[in-house]
Structure 1
Amino acid sequence: MNEEITLDLRDFFYIIRKRVKMIVGVTVACTLAAGILSFFVIKPTYEAKSTIIVGKPQGNEKNGNVQYNDVMMYQNLVKTYAEIAKSASVSERSAQKLGGSLTSEQLKKITTVTPQQGTQILAITATSKSPEEAVKIVGAVSSTFIEESKRVFPTGGDIQIMDKAKLPEEPIKPKKALNIAIAFFLGLMASVGLTFVLEYMDSTMKTEEDINKYLGLPVIGIIPKNMEQQN
């Protein structure tokens, strides 16, 4: 049984060694393609983020126990405010503030409203090919959201921007290093798989080892590939 395992491993390494140039070529090609796409073809996408806090109305002083209940109530209200932020009225008015450069539907696709679980905080994010535009979008959506919330839900909590959107320094995608690493492993796996497929489909005998292995016959002699012509 040990001999069979040894033979299988020898076959495996023999096949890999026989087509090592193809494996290296395919792997390098995939890695280079991913690098070119990530660095020169795919445009970077930037993300800006603003956080909004929902609290009790100012001047509403209560005892400690009720204050805790207020916190729990406003945590639940955050979900309601999230739906207001996602509403068509907010996206339409935000699009108007941006000067019509984006439609309401386009704005909905590139903005995300996320309630922070267990807190009174709401996060509004926007993505764009331009970092400046991403900041402008978040600013427009955040201010419009606060205005609309006070209009449609005047009895709700006190809504304020906690952190304004900052100009993003690095894009969120493409993730260049990750893309190159994935391309390297995919290229390696694909080339190794192709190697074994080609080996399985190739029924010709090319070496003395093939004759010994498949026919069990001794090699009496070989004919060199390059024979000098006798005059």
Structure 2
Amino acid sequence: MEQEMTIDLTELFAIIKKRIWLIIAITLATTLISAVLSFFVLKPVYEAKISIIIGRAEIGEKVKTDYNEVLMYQKLVKTYAEIAKSKTVVEKTINELGKSVQADDYLKNITAIPQPDTQILVLKYQSKDPVDAATTINTHAKNFIEESKRFYPDGNIQIIDAAQVPENPVKPKKMLNIAIAFVLGVMLSLGLVFILEYMDTTVKTEDDVEKLLDLPVVGIIPNNKDE
């Protein structure tokens, strides 16, 4: 069994060695294409985010914290997240900022993420313009707070951290794209090499004869070169 495995591994390495330049060429090509797309073709996308805390409106000078009430608002955060993505809030923000975009396309760039086991909701918006990303999400948060009061008048929604203009893009992830392209290039080139080897049925060596006929080779005619 070990001998068969050794022979198989030796054959595999021989196949790879025979077409090593094809593997290198394909891998370099995919990596280079990915680098060109990541650095020169794909436009950077910026993401701005804003953190919001949701609770009960204060009544009087002091409010006694109730554990059950905290749990209730933790569960309500998911409902508030759906309100934040409602078309009413979206269309109000689009109209206020004068954006020339459809509501469905706008929704593709915004996310509302409830933070686990907290009363905090994080809103994020992605745009190719960093200033637009910050302005849009801050305006969206304001409209969300106004709209949510229609459904929960006693709710107290406060902004923890207003969105700042992002300095660095979140897309494309250049080095990750290049790494993925390199791995794919290696996998594709290896697959192509083994397919080519499988399709090649020509007899080139005495080993090929033994495999094909299952008979030992008793003699070899040498190649004579004219001097």
Q: TM-score range by the shorter chain?
A: 0.7 to 0.9
SS in 2 for 1:100: coil
Query: Matches of 2:211 and 2:146 in 1, distance apart?
Result: 81
Q: Which amino acid aligns with 2:23?
A: I
Q: 1:194 to 1:59 in 2, by over 3 A?
A: same
2:147 is aligned to 148
Distance 1:212 1:103, change over 3 A: closer
Q: Percent identity?
A: 50
3-state secondary structure, aligned to 1:105: helix
Label 1:3 to 1:126 Cα distance change in 2 as closer, same or farther (>3 A): same
Q: CA shift at 1:143, angstroms?
A: 0.8
Tell whether 2:122 aligns with 1:123: yes
1:87 positional shift: 1.7
Unaligned runs of 5+ in 1: none
8 Å CA contact retained: 1:211, 1:217 = no
**Residues paired across the two proteins, number:** 223
Q: 1:142 to 1:217 in 2, by over 3 A?
A: farther
Shift of 1:104: 2.6
Q: Provide structure 2 residue ranges, at least 5 long, that are not aligned to the other structure.
A: none
Distance in 1 (CA, whole Å) between partners of 2:178 and 2:82 is 39
2: CA distance, partners of 1:155 / 1:13: 71
CA-to-partner distance for each residue in 1:109-166, whole Å, 9 max, x for gaps? 211112222111111111111111111110110011112223x135222111111111
Q: Equivalent residue of 2:118, what SS?
A: coil
- Alpha-carbon distance change, 48 to 211 in structure 1, aligned in 2, over 3 angstroms: same
TM-score normalised over the length of structure 2: 0.88
Structure 1 SS opposite 2:125: strand
For 2:222 and 2:132, the matched residues in 1 are separated by: 76
Local SS of the residue matching 1:160: strand
For normalisation by structure 1, the TM-score amounts to 0.86
Q: 1:201 to 1:217 in 2, by over 3 A?
A: farther
Q: Deviations over 1:165-197 (max 9, x none)?
A: 112222222211111111111111111111111
Match of 1:15 in 2: 15
SS of the residue corresponding to residue 127 of structure 1 reads strand
